């Protein structure tokens, strides 16, 4: 059985899927059997027009053998609301089973979240199942994608503190849209490390094609 890890972000549309594709591509190029899993995708007509397809295409993964999505919804809404509109119940056991089935065949499985870490998967009939519950259930170490620019210190530290308060392992932070010549970006990186117990393990320049590691390769932190 392989090793899974989780990719979340400090918010929505911060490049989580883009960076997931870069990580999967790098793992595959290093010779690892690489898988991609996402519990729920919203705003997609089908698998071929989804985040999963984008990751598979960018990373050179097989959409049918290397990728698994448990729930696919057409409306671009939070998973719990999209599921409600389609009268679907998001089931913990299905997620657990789907994840472990792909994990059995891979060296590494990247699990991508939806939006930020406080994302409801189900709020039906007293059943509160949040994204952070899923991460705990699957025992996944997590990497947090954050923008390198203004406001990221607060957003990143808040996310780290919340996850650690739930006893979730934060393996590190990845700064997106990072400009190594920008004094604010450099200070944000240092400040995040100073104010938390987490390292910024990698940066990605705007539209960059690879991660720049600040310390060791990503998997060394899992």
User: Is 205 known to sit in a ligand binding site?
Assistant: yes
Residue 17, annotated as binding a ligand: yes
126 is an annotated ligand-binding site residue = no
Whether residue 30 lies in the annotated active site: no
Residue 127 annotated as binding site:
no
The reply, when asked if residue 176 is annotated as ligand binding, is yes
115 annotated to a ligand binding site: yes
Distances (CA, A) of 114 to 16, 51, 66, 131, 218: 9, 10, 19, 8, 21
Q: How many CA atoms lie within 13 A of 113 on its CB side?
A: 33
User: Tokens for 36?
Assistant: 């991609």
13 carries a ligand binding annotation: yes
* Candidates 28, 38, 68, 106; catalytic one: 38
Distance of CA 111 to the CA centre of its chain: 6
Going 7 to 56 to 14 to 95, the CA torsion angle's sign is negative
Binding site, annotated residues: 13-18, 42, 51, 112-115, 176-177, 205
Binding site, annotated residues for ATP: 13-18, 51, 112-115, 176-177, 205
Instruction: Just list the catalytic residues.
Output: 38
Binding site, annotated residues for substrate: 42
């Amino acid at each position: 059985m392989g090793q899974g890890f989780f990719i979340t972000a400090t918010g929505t549309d911060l490049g989580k899927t883009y960076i997931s594709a870069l990580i999967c591509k790098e793992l595959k190029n290093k010779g690892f059997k690489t898988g991609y899993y996402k519990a729920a995708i919203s705003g997609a007509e089908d698998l071929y027009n989804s985040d999963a397809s984008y990751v598979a295409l960018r990373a050179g993964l097989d959409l049918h053998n290397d990728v698994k999505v448990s729930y696919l919804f057409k409306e671009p809404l939070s998973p719990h609301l999209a599921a409600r509109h389609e009268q679907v119940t998001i089931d913990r056991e299905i997620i657990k089973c789907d994840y472990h089935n792909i994990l059995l065949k891979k060296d590494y499985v990247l699990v991508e979240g939806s939006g930020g870490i406080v994302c409801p998967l189900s709020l039906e009939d007293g059943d509160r199942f949040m994204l952070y519950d899923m991460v705990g259930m699957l025992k996944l170490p997590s990497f947090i994608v954050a923008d390198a620019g203004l406001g990221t210190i607060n957003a990143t530290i808040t996310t780290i503190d919340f996850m650690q308060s739930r006893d979730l392992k934060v393996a590190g932070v990845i700064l997106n849209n990072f400009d190594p010549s920008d004094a604010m970006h450099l200070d944000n990186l240092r400040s995040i490390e100073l104010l938390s117990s987490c390292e910024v393990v990698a940066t990605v320049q705007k539209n960059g094609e690879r991660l720049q590691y600040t310390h060791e390769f990503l998997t060394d932190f899992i």
